[in-house]
A and B are shown apart, each in its own frame.
Chain A
Amino acid sequence: MLSKKFEEIFNRVPKKIKNFNRMSMSVAAILDDIIKNRFKNHREFADFMGKKESEISKWLSGKHNFTIKSIALIESKLDVRILFTNYDFGGIKQDFPQSSRNDYPKRKIPISPAVATIKLDSRSKMQSVVDASKLWLHVPLEVN
């Protein structure tokens, strides 16, 4: 029943909006889970964080523009991790294609389609299963 109009609008949503929604809504969902598990209600959580309830409502709206400083404060107060970057998983390096800076054409070469298990950090004993069929190498084509 998906309408053409809805699809048309979704297809033109700028990446910056998609990225913002993805991040802010994810952080909101994590906080929502924490509140449900550890606190009686929003008020108790607000008191614990030293914030007003209205501020907590903003955090949970999925539209709040968290700063790194505020995330760091929330993580330290709650003793949890909310945001992760590649550097938290020492073994994984992200591929940053240069297409935005260089004009030469690119082609995508898929890594062999297999499921790889990568041991990320022996100290933390964390492991992650990565579907290698979804990984791509960006290789510049030779231009004469």
Chain B
Amino acid sequence: MKSFSIIKYLEGKKTNIYAVCLDDSTACEFDKFLNSCPEEFNEEIEWLVDTIVNIKDNIGIRDGFFKDQGIESIHRFINHKDKKASIRVFCLKWGNSVIILGGGAIKDFTISDNAWQGHPELSPIVRRLAKIDKYISENQVQLEEAVENNSIFYIEG
């Protein structure tokens, strides 16, 4: 990842949902995941999509709906199957005011390590998001302004 931008993905009655795009891509990471997710996980994806719509329109952001990933402000959505759920979708959650969707992946249950660190599909997603979160806070990026101006942020290293 050399650069990123943030788009307003969904406008809601309770809260807006933002999403991260990487390296000049017009599609956000979340959409890329939705488009690439195998059909066998359709049900889990439906649960997730409906949860996001409920958050944006009816309930708002609540801590309980997410699991803290222990790095920066990265969280993952709690699925109805919880730990047995195959899909993992990560986001930046700033208090109860902002969600920025990151990417997602299918968790490999043949790997005994339960944490994202031990999973080659999950850890790059989390680490990229952590870099973005750090960049935003260190450079005091104003979210609305960045979205309005279609700003692209270049990350060194």
Which residues does A use to contact B, with CB under 8 Å? 1-3, 5-6, 9-10, 12-14, 17-18, 20-22, 25-26, 28-29, 32, 57-63
Contact residues, B1-53 vs A (CB, 8 A)? 7-10, 19, 27-28, 31, 34-35, 45-47, 49-51, 53
Per the bound structure, the CA–CA distance linking A87 and B28 in Å amounts to 47
Question: Across the interface, do B62 and A63 meet the contact criterion of CB distance under 8 Å?
Answer: no
Q: Is the CB of B50 within 8 A of A17?
A: yes
A62 to B, closest residue via Cβ: B65
Q: Compute how far the CA of A63 lies from the CA of B54 in the bound complex, rounded to whole angstroms.
A: 12
Q: Is the interface of B mostly helix, strand, loop or mixed?
A: helix
A28: chain B residues at CB < 8 Å are: 59, 62, 64-65
Among A1, A26, A28, find the residue whose CB has the most chain B CB atoms closer than 10 A: A1
How far does the alpha carbon of A5 sit from the alpha carbon of B35 in the complex, in Å?
Answer: 7
7 pairs, CB–CB < 8 Å, chain A vs chain B: A9-B46, A9-B49, A10-B50, A22-B54, A62-B51, A62-B78, A63-B80
Q: Which interface residue of B31, B64, B80 has the most chain A CB atoms within 10 A?
A: B64
Among residues 56 to 106 in chain B, which have CB atoms less than 8 Å away from a CB atom of chain A? Answer: 58-60, 62-65, 78-80, 82
Q: How far is the CA of A9 from the CA of B35 in the complex (A)?
A: 10
The residues of B with any CB-CB pair to A shorter than 8 Å are 7-10, 19, 27-28, 31, 34-35, 45-47, 49-51, 53-55, 58-60, 62-65, 78-80, 82
Q: Select one of A9, A20, A59, A60 contacting B45, CB under 8 A.
A: A9
Are B50 and A61 in contact, with the CB atoms below 8 A? no
Give Cα distance in the complex from A72 to B8, angstroms.
40
- Cβ A57 vs Cβ B64 within 8 A: yes
Bound: A101/B54 CA distance, A: 30
> How far does the alpha carbon of A9 sit from the alpha carbon of B87 in the complex, in Å?
15
For the A-B complex with A6-B31, A62-B64 known, give 10 more contacts whose Cβ atoms are closer than 8 Å: A1-B8, A3-B9, A3-B27, A5-B31, A18-B50, A20-B80, A25-B65, A29-B59, A61-B64, A63-B47
| Chain A neighbourhood of B47, CB < 8 A | 17, 21, 63
Measured in the bound complex, the distance between the Cα atoms of B12 and A2 in whole Å is 11
Q: How far is the CA of A14 from the CA of B9 in the complex (A)?
A: 23
User: Which of A1, A13, A32, A58 lies in contact with B46, CB distance below 8 A?
Assistant: A13
In the complex, A6 Cα to B7 Cα: how many Å?
Answer: 15
Please, which residue of chain A has its CB at the minimum distance from the CB of B46?
A13
Known A6-B31, A25-B51; contact A61-B46, beta-carbon cutoff 8 A: no
On whether the beta carbons of B9 and A1 are closer than 8 Å, the reply is yes
Contact A10 B53 (CB under 8 A): yes
Q: Are B46 and A12 in contact (CB-based, < 8 A)?
A: yes
Q: How far is the CA of A30 from the CA of B62 in the complex (A)?
A: 11
Chain B residue nearest to A56 (CB atoms) is B64
Find chain B residues with CB under 8 A from A10 CB.
Answer: 49-50, 53
